[in-house]
Structure 1
Amino acid sequence: MTTEKTSLTAGLDALIRAKPITAGDRAAAALFALDALANALAGRQSAPGRILTDWAGAEPRDSAGRAFVYGALTHILEVDDLHRASVVHPGCVVVPAALAVANRIGAGGHAFLDAVLWGFEAACRIGAAVGPAHYRIWHNTATCGPYGAAAAAGRLLGLDGAGMVAALGNAGSQSAGLWQFIETGAMTKHLHAGHAAAAGVNAADLAARGFSGPPHILEGDKGFFRAACPDAVPAAVLADPDGPWALTQTSIKPWPSCRHTHPAIDAALELAPGVNGRAIRAIAVDTYPAALDVCDRPDPQSPYEAKFSLHHCVAAALGDGRVNFDSFEAEARARLAPLRALVTPATGKAYAAAYPRAWGSAVRVTLADGTTLAAARDHALGDPENPLDRAALTEKAKMLLGHARIGPALAGRLIVGLLAFADNGPLPDLSPFVGLA
């Protein structure tokens, strides 16, 4: 009979505990926390955000309920972070879970950031092991996120090895989240992030009280990999134990659309000045199969569908020379429809071979006079190979807080306070901003 010590979750816990945390790691984690929480505040200014904040204030919420609200809000605007190898958005799950527990127990900035690092590591390592077939039906953020939330909450609660294995086991037993919502643009995707954050908090809180969980939740005969991951790579969970923290290998989005559209947006923005109103005959986009699975939407009928449309995102970048929140509204969708109809996405062999290690795309524009303009990206802006620096991330946070209708003075104070986490500053209480009592 196997024991907890031989389970993948026990190995993962031991691996994470052994990784050193430097001041640079905490500084990076502070920037990711800033990005996630600015996304949460901006997410209020949307139809699902207003529903969530109304629901949040309807009755008192415990730590898990608060994590649910923060997590769901963070994932609304499609401009939160993404870890490529796992196809997980870790920040919208891990940061809300860590903040909810840290606020409850009065933890300081360093404890919070260390928990964020642990949570990213757990979610991303498990996400990297699920295999590509999982992503065709399951939303990796929803299914792998509970493990990250449990690891972050467990770190803050001081769980020992057995406690963490129990927390991860019960978090994994709550893994869920299907892509079916995308056919109608339903609000379900936001629920995925909220549920994952809350599930991890509940699992860690119960483990702290001695509530047991299945140690072989990943590799067991009736576990996660067997149930939902037909081409899982279990060895990926414990691979490269001495490598950098997964958080430092995570991408941050500059534009509010599905990350699969971003390398094509990058390339199209490079070409936009050369197009500059000239008549276009055709627009070809080469990308990788996962991008086509999720973002092959030639005629989006809502802002949400437009954010998941390669056709629309490339048209916006070429036609307007920019991509922002307004790019997906009804006026822009109608105005860009003729240009969008010229976009033809297809699989590019080089990009298919590189995915998911690299998410790349190429755009070729054929003008009416026969001239061809082309640009390509192996790595999108915001990837670790092409990162947004501290100044750019601060500007992004200002943009998000402006979208949240938070005045410049208060926004500046929030940004300073959130970045002070890296210096072990106190954690602000953001509850009043999201309708929580």
Structure 2
Amino acid sequence: MLQCAAACSMLPVLGAKHAFAADASPSSSQDDTGITAQLARYIVAARDKPLPDAVLIECKNHILDTFGAMVSGSRMRPGMLATQYVRSLGGAPQASVVGADLRTSTVNAALANAMCAHSDETDDFEPVTKAHPGCSTVPAALALGEAQGVSGAAFVRAVALGYDAACRLLMALGPDLVRASHRSAEGTASTFGALGAAAALARLDERQTRYAISYAAQQVSGLWSWVKDRDHIEKAFDFAGMGARNGVMAATMVQSGMTGVDDVLDGTHNLFIALSSKPQPQAMIDQLGGRFFVTETAIKTYSVGYPIQSPLDALLTLRRQYRLTPDNVRTVVVKVPPDAIGIVGDSAMPDVNCQHMVALALVKGAVSFADSHDVALMRDPQIQAQLAKVSVVADPKLSDPAAPRGGIVEVTLTDGRTVSHYTRFPPGTKENPLSVAQVNEKARDLMEPVLGQQKTAQLIARINALEHVANVADLRPLFTA
């Protein structure tokens, strides 16, 4: 949790009164004290407030990390199909599709780029809510930012707002309560992440922002059935494309003059009571301006499902410490939180199959982006031989709210010894953060095969200094084909 004078100077505005004009819409409740009003007031105020230095650095890290996911994802099947789809729609040339020679409407660009961002498991992850805020928030901000020619500083602040809106919505609803109703917490959060960024960049006033929140709330959706998606295509839509599209659409519809309900988080039939059996609405606004969820969101070290991050770190730590090889390992027991089993326990996709990824790491001693997505390796005889040694089990003791994605690996050696390692916080979490140089290196690995060495280096440098970029549209030649 980060505090600073600049951030705290935003807080008094939350309690300020605001009088609507006399010609207020009939749908207006004219209540300035509710959650909807306070959130809208904060979005309007925060879009022009400098971020604390530490938050600025982390936000740029997450933007770069998401660019890496978008660029690499543009060459994966979900991203390619999304690009093909929006190309068929046409649309005014307002914003660019990453990795392509295509400009289309802001809504279409947000949809395609977001699906690119979650074409695999490269994008970031907030461990408490289990939201994936970057893959919807950054593409939404990029589409509107490019179309409206906003500054890099405004872009960064909008992204920070999006992370807050996405994660706070789940905090208010209760992530486990959302999932208990068969809904996708990730899909639920993604629309609000995009809305937070888009409303800021559209420069909606307070009343318009309240309307946009309502348009976004009407579109909040997502079922937990995504766990059955074997191709990661619908999942890319559920986690990212749907939310980015919804958020940009909500902001631009209101920007065009549409009005709406201004108390969707407070009044009768409000979003919280519709989606949660025990909502905590105050969580939507608690410590706004002092707590920034972009600093609490983890950047993945490995391009695999988040529940696999800790097991991989633990296995590779043991491999280095005890010089493990396929020849001296008898069995490997991987312990994960119970809720992780349904996500990474037995998947046809290599990057979300814990057993396969651990076997691969044992054989190769590392996990590259290419290897984590190589379906052919799931049939490799050497890896299959090691996979037979690996079991993945649920450990209720790992259901720790303070460390919700920890993992334990126990290895029994052929000489009878058993060694184990517990990774409570994998690299990339706020407790075990990656440096700017490490984030740069990850992004370079993801982007160079698509953009080439020179453009990748230039794009990384520009994003590292994003607050000094005069116009986000100037980045276009660096991320398009």
Per the TM superposition, whether the score is higher than 0.5 is yes
Partner of 1:200: 247
Match runs of 1:288-437 below 5 Å: 288-297=337-346, 300-301=347-348, 305-324=349-368, 325-335=370-380, 336-354=383-401, 357-404=403-450, 406-427=451-472, 428-430=474-476
Does the alignment pair 1:11 with 2:38?
yes
1:86–1:129 Cα contact (<8 Å) kept: no
In the alignment, the residues of structure 1 paired with residue 177 and residue 384 of structure 2 have an alpha-carbon distance, to the nearest angstrom, of 33
Change (3 A) 1:342 1:422: same
Partner of 2:300: 253
Q: SS state of the match for residue 281, structure 1?
A: strand
Unmatched runs of 5 consecutive residues or more in structure 2: 1-27, 92-103
Partner of 1:151: 196
Does the alignment pair 1:177 with 2:204?
no
Tell me the matched-pair count. 428
User: Which one is further off, 422-431 or 99-108?
Assistant: 422-431
2:229–2:235 Cα contact (<8 Å) kept: no
Give the C-alpha shift of residue 225 in structure 1: 3.2
1:86–1:124 Cα contact (<8 Å) kept: yes
TM-score, with structure 1 as normaliser:
0.90
User: Which one is further off, 255-264 or 50-59?
Assistant: 50-59
Change (3 A) 1:431 1:70: farther
Partner amino acid, structure 1, of 2:332: I
Give the C-alpha shift of residue 431 in structure 1: 7.7
| Aligned residues with identical type, % of pairs | 28
Which of 60, 69, 79 is residue 49 of structure 1 equivalent to?
A: 79
Match runs of 1:15-34 below 5 Å: 15=42, 17=45, 21-34=51-64
Does the alignment pair 1:138 with 2:183?
yes
Partner of 2:155: 112
In the alignment, the residues of structure 2 paired with residue 12 and residue 348 of structure 1 have an alpha-carbon distance, to the nearest angstrom, of 39
Give the C-alpha shift of residue 201 in structure 1: 0.9
1:45–1:403 Cα contact (<8 Å) kept: no
Q: SS state of the match for residue 113, structure 2?
A: helix
Q: SS state of the match for residue 189, structure 1?
A: helix
The structure whose Rg is larger is 2
Per-residue displacement from partner, 1:199-258 (whole Å, max 9, x unpaired)? 111111122244233344345553433333345433322233353311111111111111
Does the alignment pair 1:164 with 2:217?
no
Partner of 2:110: 67
Q: SS state of the match for residue 64, structure 2?
A: helix
In the alignment, the residues of structure 2 paired with residue 416 and residue 127 of structure 1 have an alpha-carbon distance, to the nearest angstrom, of 34
In the alignment, the residues of structure 2 paired with residue 342 and residue 4 of structure 1 have an alpha-carbon distance, to the nearest angstrom, of 62
Q: SS state of the match for residue 420, structure 2?
A: strand
Per-residue displacement from partner, 1:38-72 (whole Å, max 9, x unpaired)? 21111111122222222333323211111111111
Change (3 A) 1:432 1:251: closer
Change (3 A) 1:344 1:227: farther
Does the alignment pair 1:83 with 2:126?
yes
Change (3 A) 1:365 1:220: farther
Partner amino acid, structure 2, of 1:13: A
In the alignment, the residues of structure 1 paired with residue 252 and residue 345 of structure 2 have an alpha-carbon distance, to the nearest angstrom, of 41
In the alignment, the residues of structure 1 paired with residue 118 and residue 85 of structure 2 have an alpha-carbon distance, to the nearest angstrom, of 17
Give the C-alpha shift of residue 97 in structure 1: 0.9
Change (3 A) 1:330 1:197: closer
Give the C-alpha shift of residue 291 in structure 1: 1.3
In the alignment, the residues of structure 1 paired with residue 266 and residue 359 of structure 2 have an alpha-carbon distance, to the nearest angstrom, of 44
Give the C-alpha shift of residue 175 in structure 1: 1.0
Give the C-alpha shift of residue 340 in structure 1: 2.2
Give the C-alpha shift of residue 376 in structure 1: 0.8
Partner amino acid, structure 1, of 2:356: H
Change (3 A) 1:205 1:365: same
Partner of 2:70: 40
Give the C-alpha shift of residue 110 in structure 1: 0.7
Q: SS state of the match for residue 353, structure 1?
A: coil
In the alignment, the residues of structure 1 paired with residue 167 and residue 285 of structure 2 have an alpha-carbon distance, to the nearest angstrom, of 11
Give the C-alpha shift of residue 108 in structure 1: 0.9
1:219–1:226 Cα contact (<8 Å) kept: no
Give the C-alpha shift of residue 107 in structure 1: 0.8
In the alignment, the residues of structure 2 paired with residue 397 and residue 221 of structure 1 have an alpha-carbon distance, to the nearest angstrom, of 46
Partner of 2:331: 282
In the alignment, the residues of structure 1 paired with residue 30 and residue 141 of structure 2 have an alpha-carbon distance, to the nearest angstrom, of 29
Change (3 A) 1:333 1:231: farther
TM-score, with structure 2 as normaliser:
0.82
Partner amino acid, structure 2, of 1:280: V
In the alignment, the residues of structure 1 paired with residue 357 and residue 399 of structure 2 have an alpha-carbon distance, to the nearest angstrom, of 20
In the alignment, the residues of structure 2 paired with residue 233 and residue 280 of structure 1 have an alpha-carbon distance, to the nearest angstrom, of 48
Partner amino acid, structure 2, of 1:401: M
Unmatched runs of 5 consecutive residues or more in structure 1: none
Give the C-alpha shift of residue 167 in structure 1: 0.7
Change (3 A) 1:263 1:231: farther
1:130–1:233 Cα contact (<8 Å) kept: yes
User: CA-atom RMSD, angstroms?
Assistant: 2.4
Change (3 A) 1:105 1:271: same
2:82–2:111 Cα contact (<8 Å) kept: no
1:154–1:204 Cα contact (<8 Å) kept: yes
